Amino acid sequence: MALRGDWVYENNGGTCVAIAGSDYCVIAADTRLSVGYSIYTRDYSKICKLADKCVLATSGFQGDMKALQKNLAARHLIYQHQHNKQMGCPVMAQHLSNTLYYKRFFPYYTFNILGGLDSDGKGCVFTYDAVGSYERVGYSAQGTGAGLIIPVLDNQLKSPSPLLLPAKDAVTPLSEVEAVDLLKDVFASATERDIYTGDKVEIVVINASGIRQELMELRKD
Amino acid sequence: MMELDLSGFESCPLFPGGVVADHGENPLAAASFQLPACSDFDGFQKDAIQMTKPAKGTTTLAFVFKEGVIVAADSRATMGGYISSQSVKKIVEINPHMLGTIAGGAADCQFWHRNLGIKCRLHELANKRRISVTGASKLLANILYSYKGMGLSVGTMIAGWDEKGPGLYYVDNEGGRLKGTRFSVGSGSPYAYGVLDSGYQFNMSVEEAAELARRAIYHATFHDGASGGVASVYHVGPQGWKKLSGDDVGELHYKYYPMILTPTEQEMADTSAA
């Protein structure tokens, strides 16, 4: 593919993970940016705060990530002017889906996870493919380390499907502190076996009191 | 003179060969499809699809019978060989009397079904009556035909109950639109057809029809790696649609695929029960 003279994409590697809880949402992403076997920087944030209770984490091609974030931030500003309020998380979720699909024939090479609180204050995580198909889930991982992380999250967090009838309650039983610890653990493990994941992990926690951020060091090799 | 209302005709204001606008030029302008500026469009699309591996893979089915229409689907989405989700909603509720199914590219189907729902609502507002299944399927088919050749992957069924009774249409990305009484779409459809065709009777009750649909989906998920998750079954009657069941196919396995115990195992089962 890269042999084409007009190939414009590049995979910068990295991993993003998010977990939704009953009254919180945690989103994490590593901070390494790579091209091929080279590391361009160890300090690159893949997380973007779009609204008060809504945060986007993106892995894939960071050029497209930057363009997408700018696009969404601009549209959010217009929404605020027109509606006199911030976009809620499910609103932003559908908007992101449409934004991605409008580039269906020249895709954003981005694998996104949107996290935040819905209007009831419950944590929500939306996971996307590159062209905009999306779904609300209890947890998600995207990027080069996703294949190493998702099985662990399935084991710890898997809950009954929302499609089951009669419906079964699907709330993640973890507390906020346990979820953050779990995220730190999975990133440490993914760093061991994925060359594109490492350096630092940026963890963002959204709950009723607001948004807080912490950084944890990872292996730099 | 009264101005003709042509809003219902505007199925596709976007043209495939559209102008390549500068990216992010005017955020207030109506969004339109940007195209890559390259000479080899088909090759680019092929490579882009290979790179992004959009989610797909599925089994869906629908059939008309005496009491209306039964619509059923699995819930697995795959990206290449990776299962990206086991809880995808493949039966979309277009309005309280019409359902659509998703097969093929998940993003393509989700987007165009949402778009169809909007157009159906606009039709209701403009014409003061609900759109027919014929009309809705035609709207979707015309849109998909205008993007023919550009790599969309959509295999959908529109099922509903309108003034003419139960209706079922199959619509795909080639622009095909077929009216019928029995359809199955997706990678697992051959398996579903086997069970569906052999058990189908026009004069079934709702419970029997739902059971047939559930079995057909289960057997498809058993043999097709790209199908699985939860088998959902909906019924569309004169009062609208209703979800009848959602069962994990892992659980259904023990119901539909009974193990024939060997004598030794039978003994062990008997002693542990005693």
Q: What is the pLDDT at residue B3?
A: 61
Give me the helix-helix angle, B206-223 and B189-199, nearest 10°: 150
For chain A, positions 101-130, list CB contacts with chain B under 8 A. Answer: 101-107, 109, 127, 129-130
pLDDT of residue B260: 74
Report, as an integer, the average pLDDT of A138-167: 89
Of A129, A162, A163, the CB nearest to B55: A129
As a whole number of angstroms, the distance between CA B261 and CA A117 comes to 51
- Tell me if residue A207 falls in helix, strand or coil: strand
Residue A203 corresponds to which tokens in the numbers above? Answer: 């963890």
SS3 at position B16: coil
Confidence check: pLDDT of B47 > 80: no
Confidence of residue B22 (pLDDT cuts 50, 70, 90): very low
Residue B83: pLDDT band by 50, 70, 90 thresholds?
Answer: confident
**Among A214, A203, A195, which Cα is nearest to A32's?**
A195
Asked if A74 and B75 come within 8 Å (Cβ–Cβ), the reply is no
- Looking at B52, B58, B60, B264, which residue is catalytic? B58
d(CA A152, CA A160): 16
Cα A41 to Cα A13, B171, B248, distances in angstroms:
12, 48, 45
Tally Cβ neighbours within 10 Å of residue B57. 24
CA-based Rg of chain A, rounded to a whole angstrom? 17
Judging contacts by C-beta atoms under 8 Å, the chain B residues touching residue A63 are: none
Flag whether residue A161 sits within 8 Å of chain B, measured between CB atoms: yes
| Predicted confidence (pLDDT) at residue B110 exceeds the cutoff of 70 | yes
Please say whether the beta carbons of A34 and A198 come within 8 A: no
For B54, the token pair is 């959009």
Q: Is the dihedral of CA B121, B123, B125, B129 positive or negative?
A: negative
- pLDDT of B270 > 60? The answer is yes
At A175 the pLDDT is 92
**Chain A, window 129-148: residues with a beta carbon less than 8 angstroms from a chain B beta carbon:** 129-135, 137, 147
Q: What is the mean pLDDT of residues A27-43?
A: 95
**pLDDT recorded at residue B234:** 97
Measured distance CA(A164)–CA(B246) in Å, rounded: 4
Give residue-wise pLDDT tens across range B178-234. Answer: 999 999 999 899 999 999 999 999 999 999 999 999 999 999 999 999 999 999 999
